[in-house]
Structure 1
């Protein structure tokens, strides 16, 4: 199951550069875009997504180190270690490092995937992920290294967003946050003479296929993945796994 399975085999010796940078924030059709990029019609597989970070403690450690690293040369080294072997990327952590990734992959297409309905809809959707800041989550899931990483990443993300996007703490996860991120992507791309494709899932296959020189599928709908119900199920499983782990530990302690 996505976000729990840690069985993706990536050839870290593959230095083929990433071809597509999905620059949009989480909850902006990132999983749908990932599915499209990995499809037989486009064929950019594997595509990095937070689903490949969450269950992998080693990747999580690299992300945390990159979020904390101030020196761009050392940060790029960490990011190459994370992204080597991937042909495309969407979602976090890429969305947080788009300035770095544009420098690291100068020929990659920049796709700014946006939330249908704009910032107000994004604010409602991103609330699904705020469990990562919850003391209940921290306590209940503490026994899992991967969950401790997720909680730590959330804190670091908020700090980096304030710095990169010039936001106050009260402006985080608001419409201003959404708009500031998208403006930042355009500004960073403009500094480097890069074009940005703004994309929403209702645009379908054509815009992506055109910029990538692929044939447009005519009889297959654009993928729809990771809707709100799926996210809620993931959170419930995380909490259940955490509770069971504490019960198992308690049983061992009391039996000795």
Structure 2
């Protein structure tokens, strides 16, 4: 989790809907769920940036259908959402956290767990994410990378969903507060758990009715470091691919001119 995409395992029972926003410890939470649920976890941020191209394209289709809002679009959205999560034990991070009502419909037995943190610290952390994804050159750099060529349009769809759901596309602490209030409206009280990753195994195991793993420390993954490292890695990959493309183009032009 965090810097390695999960691979679906056919036959895995879906058990947990991760309702926490990005930068609330979702990478650590995902790794813990993999242990407790004994199955792969779909961490949306990781899968969108490191997973198969099909996954980010399917999220784009799901988001477009959600934004369109018609009954036929909703049917398509539910069908694609089910296909996207087939073989996973849980989903965490956004946009999964914005599809809680739909996921509860698809998985009526799944527990809804929202990772939380201090709203002020969350707002500052989200600003760091936004700064890493808004450089004007990013779309051009990512263009030659399969999958990542869709990343900026995908972010635009995410922003549109957040604006429709929370009233603002740029995350602030009010976004955080509105998300918590929204969850309390759409999730039955006996099905919703709020969890802070600093609580570790005891609180999470109690929520899921599992025993604390022996000799397995609770995973702690720094989301900020993971985002920075992944961002830098993709920029390096994109620039390297452009060097190859430009070199090949230059060689081709030189060959044509000297024929």
Do the two structures share a fold, i.e. TM-score over 0.5? yes
CA distance in 2, matches of 1:124, 1:146: 28
The number of aligned residues is 243
CA contact (8 A) 2:2 2:27 kept: no
- Residue 48 (structure 2) pairs with residue 48 (structure 1): no
Query: Which residue matches 1:123?
Result: 123
Structure 1 unmatched ranges of 5 or more: none
SS in 2 for 1:111: strand
Query: Which residue matches 2:180?
Result: 182
Greater fraction helix: 2
Compute the TM-score of the two structures, normalised by the length of structure 2: 0.86
SS in 2 for 1:138: helix
Alignment of 1:46-195 (within 5 A): 46-50=40-44, 51-55=46-50, 56-69=52-65, 70=69, 71-115=73-117, 118-130=118-130, 131-165=132-166, 167-169=167-169, 172-190=170-188, 194-195=190-191
Compute the TM-score of the two structures, normalised by the length of structure 1: 0.87
Shift of 1:149: 1.9
Query: Which residue matches 2:33?
Result: 37
CA contact (8 A) 2:2 2:226 kept: no
- Say what the alpha-carbon RMSD is for the aligned residues: 2.0
Query: Which residue matches 2:256?
Result: none
- Residue 256 (structure 2) pairs with residue 255 (structure 1): no
SS in 2 for 1:198: strand
Shift of 1:9: 3.8
Query: Which residue matches 2:235?
Result: 239
Once superposed, which parts of structure 1, at least 4 consecutive aligned residues long, lie more than 3 Å away? 217-221
